[in-house]
Amino acid sequence: MKTELYYFTGTGNGLHIAKSVKESLVQRNEAVELIPINTLNLSQSLHSSANRIGIIYPTYAMTAPAIVKRFAEKLRVSSKSYVFTYAHCGGGGAGGATSSIVDILSDNDIIVTNTFQTRFPSNSTLFKYTDEKLESILSKSEVSVKENVRAIVDMVENIRPKSNSLNRASRKMSGIFSSALENHLQFKVIEANDNCNGCSVCSKVCPMENIEMNGKPQFKSNCEMCFACINNCPQKSLGFKKMNRKDFKPYRHPNVNVKELMYR
């Protein structure tokens, strides 16, 4: 039995899920591969022959990240595979992120055997949690992750009915709203302040190879707004214009270390 877990993560919530699934499967002596979606060549079809295939990703602006949608468009699997999506979110719900990927996969004749969701602390810089609140959300998310991991390991099925045209139309409307939100985010420019010491951590954790070092980080135009750079900068140097960096509490899932998020 072979499992492939494709994930996209900025601050480690998704990697924590992937690691949790892997741990349970390894205990059963099953082969598991963790594959960051951002390391794949998405200009061509991707064929997977794994028996169990998971797609794990965050909710951005009420939908799935653009790179995960591109991945879903390219994925080809055997009709016998157990395919699951696992969308997580920061409190606004992961329904839109789930349906956007399920729709793309079903257009490619891939039947999603089950879908999972978990609420995590939001990695958005807009949210500030007290330590107590953060701990409370993390402990609730762990209950959800454990429950979902059990279902994934046991290959529990819960196939969603194929979406009808009314559902798709209403998704199109919310898609227009989330595109507007996404566009709004894209216009927010991330920059380093004078605290930057040129350590290059931001460039290493950027899943999109969007940061080049030239003494200080230079941002290119391929940002997914994953906030990995902002949350992992040891100097709290990165942020948007007018962002209050002094009060900013960086976030990374406690079960993930910064090295696990580095791609280079």
Rounded distance between C-alpha atoms, residue 224 and residue 66, angstroms: 7
DSSP secondary-structure letter at 34? E
Residue 223 contact partner, candidates ligand SF4, ligand FMN, none, CB within 5 to 8 A by sort of partner: ligand SF4
Q: How many residues bind ligand FMN (CB under 6 A)?
A: 26
Alpha carbon 157 to its chain's center: 23
Q: Rg of the chain over CA atoms, in angstroms? A: 18
Rounded distance between C-alpha atoms, residue 114 and residue 158, angstroms: 5
- As measured in angstroms, the least distance from the Cβ of 36 to ligand SF4 is 13
Q: Is 227 in the site for ligand FMN (CB under 6 A)?
A: yes
Other CB atoms within a 10 A radius of the CB of residue 135 amount to 13
Evaluated on CA atoms 250, 254, 260, 263, the torsion sign reads: negative
Q: Is 256 in the site for ligand SF4 (CB under 6 A)?
A: no
Per CB under 6 A, which of residues 5..44 are in contact with ligand SF4?
10
* Residue 77 CB burial class (10 angstroms; 0-12, 13-18, ≥19): buried
66-74 vs 95-107: helix crossing angle, rounded to 10: 30
Q: Is 230 in the site for ligand FMN (CB under 6 A)?
A: no
Applying CB under 6 A, which part among 21-29, 47-55, 77-85, 225-233 lies near ligand FMN? 225-233
Amino acid letter for position 132 = E
What is the signed CA dihedral for 255, 140, 114, 65, rounded to 10 degrees?
-60
Look up residue 209 and give its two tokens.
């190879």
Applying CB under 6 A, which part among 97-105, 141-149, 217-225, 249-257 lies near ligand SF4? 217-225
Alpha carbon 220 to its chain's center: 21
Applying CB under 6 A, which part among 135-143, 161-169, 234-242, 246-254 lies near ligand SF4? 234-242
DSSP secondary-structure letter at 18? H
- As measured in angstroms, the least distance from the Cβ of 134 to ligand FMN is 12
x/- string (CB under 6 A) for ligand FMN, residues 63-102?
A: -------------------------xxxxxx---------
Residue 217 contact partner, candidates ligand FMN, ligand SF4, none, CB within 5 to 8 A by sort of partner: ligand SF4
Select from 71, 86, 120, 219 the one that contacts ligand FMN (CB under 6 A): 120
Q: Is 105 in the site for ligand SF4 (CB under 6 A)?
A: no
3-state DSSP assignment of residue 232: helix
Q: Which residues sit at the interface with ligand FMN, rule CB under 6 A?
A: 9-14, 58-62, 88-93, 120, 122-124, 185, 225-227, 253
Q: Which residues sit at the interface with ligand SF4, rule CB under 6 A?
A: 10, 190, 192, 196-202, 206-208, 210-211, 217, 219, 223-229, 233, 235, 237-238
